[in-house]
Amino acid sequence: MRRSILLTPGPTQVPEEVLVAGAMPIMHHRTPQFEAIFAEATKGLQYIFQTAQPVMIFASSGTGALESSVVNLLSPNDKVIVVVGGKFGERWANLCKAFGLNIVQLDIPWDEVVSPALMEKTLKENPDVKAVFTTLSETSTGGVTDIEAISKIVKPTNAILIVDAVSGLGVVDLKTDAWGVDVVVAGSQKGLMLPPGLGFASVSPKAMKMMETSKLPKFYFDWKKALKNLEKNTTPWTPGISLIVQLNVALNLIKEEGLENVFARHIRLSNAIKAGMKALGLQIYNKSTGSACMGVLCPEGIDGEKVVKLARDKFKVTLTGGQDELKGKIFRISTMGNVNENDAILGVAVVERALHELGYSFELGKGVAATLKALV
Ligand SMILES: *Cc1c(COP(=O)(O)O)cnc(C)c1O
């Protein structure tokens, strides 16, 4: 029953050490003992975020932290650029709409990511823009944005750059300080290998200045309260105590492996799976697919939803399907988080079995052979 593998872009597989830590008795959060744990968590997050700036922890899923960045930095009618190249770009746009912002929407074909040239042109045409919202890993398409290049363009302007890195943090490289990214938002259930329930946001001095003039209403997600409490190693409200205990265990696993090695593992595993898909005659959907998640285009006449259903219910590997315009057209495989070589090999084998059962004609084992060759 339990032996089922998640090759999904969140929630991801939680390592045993982290699961066990979640079973510890609850400690009270207004104690020096918990404050020490909280301080360690903040330090660990700064390592993963590659920043010396504060990283706030919220008891919410990733979207709560996304919302917090909108309401704490902006004011009604502020002009913002929102990159929309998939479902999560759409989420940024919907959030900004909900709070009455004046949106310049950059619609990108879903099989591409935003080009630095387009960002430069849009910023030139809109010098009064206060913030640029984009996504590091657009989970719905597999596209990974070149945040370093985008940041170079936004940095000299008055605008701040806010990056949804929920499915990219701890998976693909994001040098928050070195690249000058103002706000990086993440969540617990993706690269950090935790259960869902924590949201994170880092904040640069440039963003903190903007925070001072922000007039949108906020209460639960008030960054000023959060930052003031962070200095005392606590939160304004009851934190997700068990999740933060688990967070430290997960952060230690990442530190032990080394952040660079974690990135390299994701590249190695996703390249091996890509080799397997190619050997089966299948193509990857997004031209800028990185190592977080890939969309695989289904062969003619094969329904991607059926591939996912068979893989999950018969062969015990959870993949994800396409969303909206991609529904049925792609299935997604992710090496995000706690995924090893065996998981990747099994994932390719299960894709083969599902495709075989759905009548796709190919030489059984060809994908697995290519994946194995890529790994040795
Ligand atoms: C998963 C994800 C989110 C956050 O979703 P929640 O369900 O609120 O945790 C946001 N952005 C991206 C790119 C994601 O992959």
Arithmetic mean of pLDDT, 12-17: 97
What residue type is assigned to position 28 of the chain?
A: H
375 has pLDDT over 70 = yes
161 has pLDDT over 70 = yes
How far is the C-alpha of 78 from the C-alpha of 109, rounded, in Å? 26
Same domain, yes or no: 233 and 88: yes
Domain boundary among 201, 226, 256: 256
pLDDT digit string, tens, across residues 45-75: 999 999 999 999 999 999 999 999 999 999 9
* 90 CB within 6 A, ligand 1: no
How far is the C-alpha of 96 from the C-alpha of 307, rounded, in Å? 35
pTM as predicted:
0.97
28 has pLDDT over 90 = yes
Among 39, 43, 49, which Cα is nearest to 259's? 49
CA 344, 350, 353, 359: dihedral to nearest 10 degrees? -90
Angle made by CA atoms 175, 177, 180, in degrees to the nearest 5: 95
Structure tokens at 135: 């996504």
* 197 CB within 6 A, ligand 1: no
Which residues neighbour 316 within 8 Å (Cβ) at sequence distance 6 or greater?
3, 4, 5, 350
* 63 CB within 6 A, ligand 1: yes
Same domain, yes or no: 362 and 266: yes
How far is the C-alpha of 268 from the C-alpha of 6, rounded, in Å? 18
- Answer whether residue 82 is part of any domain: yes
Angle made by CA atoms 199, 203, 208, in degrees to the nearest 5: 130
pLDDT digit string, tens, across residues 250-291: 999 999 999 999 999 999 999 999 999 999 999 999 999 999
- Tell me the residue range of the domain where 209 lies: 16-256
- Answer whether residue 248 is part of any domain: yes
DSSP type of residue 284: B
3 has pLDDT over 80 = no
Mean pLDDT of the chain: 97
Confirm if 358 and 301 have CB atoms less than 8 A apart.
no
pLDDT digit string, tens, across residues 112-135: 999 999 999 999 999 999 999 999
- For 155, how many CA atoms within 13 A lie in the half-sphere containing its CB? 15
Residue 260: per-residue pLDDT: 98
Arithmetic mean of pLDDT, 159-177: 98
Test site for ligand 1: of 6, 63, 174, most ligand atoms within 8 A of the Cβ: 63
2 has pLDDT over 70 = no
Arithmetic mean of pLDDT, 171-192: 98
pLDDT digit string, tens, across residues 82-103: 999 999 999 999 999 999 999 9
Residue 4: per-residue pLDDT: 83
Same domain, yes or no: 165 and 245: yes
* CATH number of the domain enclosing 88: 3.40.640.10
- Answer whether residue 64 is part of any domain: yes
Among 102, 173, 175, 101, which Cα is nearest to 137's? 173
Residue 73: per-residue pLDDT: 98
- Answer whether residue 4 is part of any domain: no
Angle made by CA atoms 269, 166, 18, in degrees to the nearest 5: 70
Arithmetic mean of pLDDT, 203-230: 98
Residue 1: per-residue pLDDT: 54
* CATH number of the domain enclosing 324: 3.90.1150.10
- Answer whether residue 285 is part of any domain: yes
Same domain, yes or no: 353 and 224: no
362 has pLDDT over 80 = yes
Same domain, yes or no: 271 and 232: no
Arithmetic mean of pLDDT, 170-176: 98
Same domain, yes or no: 91 and 183: yes
Distance between Cα 62 and ligand 1 center (Å): 5
How far is the C-alpha of 369 from the C-alpha of 114, rounded, in Å? 35
41 has pLDDT over 70 = yes
Domain boundary among 226, 256, 286: 256
Same domain, yes or no: 37 and 105: yes
DSSP codes of every residue in 205-223? HHHHHHHHH--S--STT-H
